[in-house]
Chain A
Amino acid sequence: MIIQAEPWDEPDVRYIYLTRRSLEALAEVLANLMDRSGVHARNKVLVYDFSMSLPAIVVSRAYAPELRRGACEILDCSMMSVDGVPELAARSAFMFSMLQPEVLMIRSELVSVFRSNLERGDIASANPNLEIVLIVHPDPAPLPREVKLGPGVFSRHLLYKSDDGLFLGLLEDGSLYYPSGYYDVKCSSGFVEVRPLFAKERRSHRTSLECGPSGVEVVSL
């Protein structure tokens, strides 16, 4: 499968070449991270991201041609998605209120417009079932200082993705968590470097995440 990577340096166009093994491994990585976040069987997951975004595509076999089992099939969840463009925030908010998912996966830059389309701008009251919010943060965009989700008892997690490294991890409390066995992750020259072990042809990729004393701590799960 060939996916055009999220464009950052236009007109530079990059593609992600995914073998079936890479897709399967990414789905397992996502399932692992969702599990750590508290997602469990029978949860409903609403995805508000582009259908070809790395974490979104491996949510389910229904979203990725060539994938036999996505993260939701591994965890036994159900899922619905809405295209990750701000123009569809009203649709996304409506579906959030109607489906009442336990889990919301949303791109960081869409949180504000999503909330403004909810009644009273309040995530928790629009959906009292909500337990977990996974905020997708694409590398190399600058880390958001704060993503305003509003009040609620749900837990929040930053789901970090790097297209060039085929990398998914969780950023929490100054730590970057990643599932061991899938990546070689190290701190090099002050930045996190990742190499997917499931894609032998890939070399290490330096992310924009700072590490060491002034940055995140790398923690394998």
Chain B
Amino acid sequence: MIADREYYDEEAETMSYKDLEDIQFRKLKAVIRYAYDNSRFYRKRWKEVGVTPDDINSMHDFQRRIPPYTKDDVRRSTAPGDPTAGLYSCKPEEISIYSMTSGTTGVNTVLGMGQAFADEIVEKLFMRHYWMTKLRPGMKVFQVLTGWHFLGIMTNLVLTKMGASCVTPWGTTMQKYIHNMMRTMLDNKPDYFIGIPWMIQALMEEATRIGVEPRKVFSSVRYMQLSGEPMTQGLRKKIMDETDVIDVFDAGGNTDGVWGSADCYVHRGWHVWMDVDLLELVEMDSLEPVDYGGKGRWISTLLLLGGPLVIRYLGDDLAQVERERCECGRTHYRVRIFDRLDNTFRMNGRLMTPYEVSLVVEEVCGYRLFTIVNPEAGGDKLKLLIGREGDRDPCAEMLDEIDRVAHKKLGIGIEARLVARERLPFAHRKLVRILRGPDGTLIKGDR
């Protein structure tokens, strides 16, 4: 491998759409045949709608005839002894690695895979992904080890294959272990940082607390890869300004759907590899297909065998999937997740998420933490609580400007208030981005 080249696998990453579509459909036929012949879960569902593998002769057939399924369908099918709901494409005795999803919705689901599958998906998905985000052989990488999570396991296998070394603090990705993380960063000076956006601010605050210049925590770090929270350009700029790293990459995807990747240096969405995953977009309610470039719910199909068996898994996010060659030269999907469906709302007939609101706030005040309060409560203005920064936050004088920009960009007004950051609502270590119900009236004053 030549360390300064752009691609891990140039031929695969820049392949024409014609070739990618041919590969997708060939792999899709094999996956469908395997599922029908071996999986009770799929065979039962497909028999109910009267479809067999022989009926699927085009992508149109696939989208129209194979029914999607959801996380609830998986949960209903799990049983003691088989937490994967039988959703694997190898012999049961070949499963050697069980991993979990992050459990954001309350219950973790389980993926089972064989060693050969792990090696294949590392080579075809995760090595490309990490190479794209500038991880290189010989680098010293900071990460909090997470052997339970699919992405954590894949990252470990990538580091081994890449020939990078790892430095890890004691603990897990919880606020109470932040001191361990900070000491490990200061003492071991990694080149590369893998984490979650909230960790950056928390590490800098911990450094300040013990009298260390916050920038020192990241003084050795050249690149960061962050996942787990939506990343806007404003957040990226804030992190780069505060840490002096060369670049910050946004990684993400969905473990239930077994798809994911990161953005390239152009930073216009995650490149999801089309020879590994087939992604579709559908309307929120009707589930009718949406053209690439539009917004909708995503549906994923994993095109590899030997691990999780995923065929038209319907996700719970509002997403945009683009299919056009990127400035970086890659042809594969570019995906943006705006937010979970729970975090969408309608105002003036328009479907929105906190992502669009954050772009307005960023344009006026720069990146800020904020919570939207009761967006469905009526009225012509969206109510917002913005976390105050410092004693004399200039944003306090710019609330009318936020309202003006919101009218221009979103077609609605915003009534914003500044509150102390610790008064913003958090749950399960994450900021509550939309506060609904009576609690929405509990945070008062403090302007």
Contact = CB atoms under 8 A, between A and B. Distances in A.
A139 interface: no
Contacts of A129: 81
Contacts of B107: 94
A73 B115 contact: yes
A95 B108 contact: yes
A47 interface: yes
A14 to B, nearest CB: 10
B78 A78 contact: no
A21 interface: no
A199 interface: no
B80 A62 contact: no
B95 A78 contact: yes
Interface residues of B, number: 48
Nearest to B118: A62
B404 interface: no
A5 B155 CA distance: 21
B147 A4 contact: no
Contacts of A67: 160
Given A66-B159, A83-B146, A52 B110 contact: no
Nearest to B154: A62
Contacts of A83: 146, 148, 172
B95 A52 contact: no
B170 A6 contact: yes
B159 A65 contact: yes
Nearest to A76: B96
Contact of A61 (B160, B167, B171, B187): B160
Given A50-B171, A56-B147, A79 B166 contact: no
B152 interface: yes
A65 B108 contact: no
Interface of A: 1-7, 13, 15, 42, 44, 47, 50-52, 56-57, 59-68, 72-73, 76-83, 85, 87, 91, 94-95, 97-100, 129
Interface of B: 78-83, 93, 95-100, 103, 107-108, 110, 112, 115, 118, 141, 144-148, 152-153, 155-157, 159-160, 164-172, 174, 180, 183-184, 187-188
18 contacts: A3-B168, A4-B184, A13-B180, A50-B171, A51-B144, A51-B145, A51-B148, A51-B152, A60-B97, A62-B153, A63-B145, A63-B153, A64-B156, A72-B96, A76-B96, A78-B98, A79-B96, A83-B172
Closest 4 CB pairs of A and B: A65-B159, A80-B98, A51-B145, A63-B147
